[in-house]
């Protein structure tokens, strides 16, 4: 990232993104979308809205 401060006020900021990191972020976002779609498909198949329960113990 480069920052240039100009005389008399004002500033300019240049920023670049590593193309490899950008591709990884895109892939992660696509995977998250696919996971959410699969969860919606499962909910529809079950015929009810279900949430993952994290408060269950072995005794229940």
The Cα 39–Cα 50 span in angstroms is 9
| Predicted local distance difference test score (pLDDT) of residue 18 | 84
C-alpha distances out from residue 20 to 14, 25, 34, Å? 19, 9, 21
Determine phi and psi for 48, rounding to 5 degrees.
-155, 160
Q: Which of 16, 12, 32 lies closest to 24, judged by CA?
A: 32
| Predicted local distance difference test score (pLDDT) of residue 51 | 59
| Predicted local distance difference test score (pLDDT) of residue 28 | 96
| Predicted local distance difference test score (pLDDT) of residue 42 | 85
| Predicted local distance difference test score (pLDDT) of residue 14 | 72
pLDDT in tens, 2-59: 667 777 777 777 777 788 988 999 999 999 999 999 998 888 888 765 555 556 565 5
Q: What ranges do the domains of the chain cover? A: 16-42
């Amino acid at each position: 990232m480069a920052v240039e401060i100009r005389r008399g006020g004002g500033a300019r900021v240049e920023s670049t993104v590593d193309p490899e990191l950008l591709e990884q972020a895109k892939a992660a976002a696509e995977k998250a979308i696919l996971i959410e779609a699969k969860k919606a498909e499962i909910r529809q198949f079950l015929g009810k809205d279900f949430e993952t329960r994290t408060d269950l113990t072995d005794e229940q």
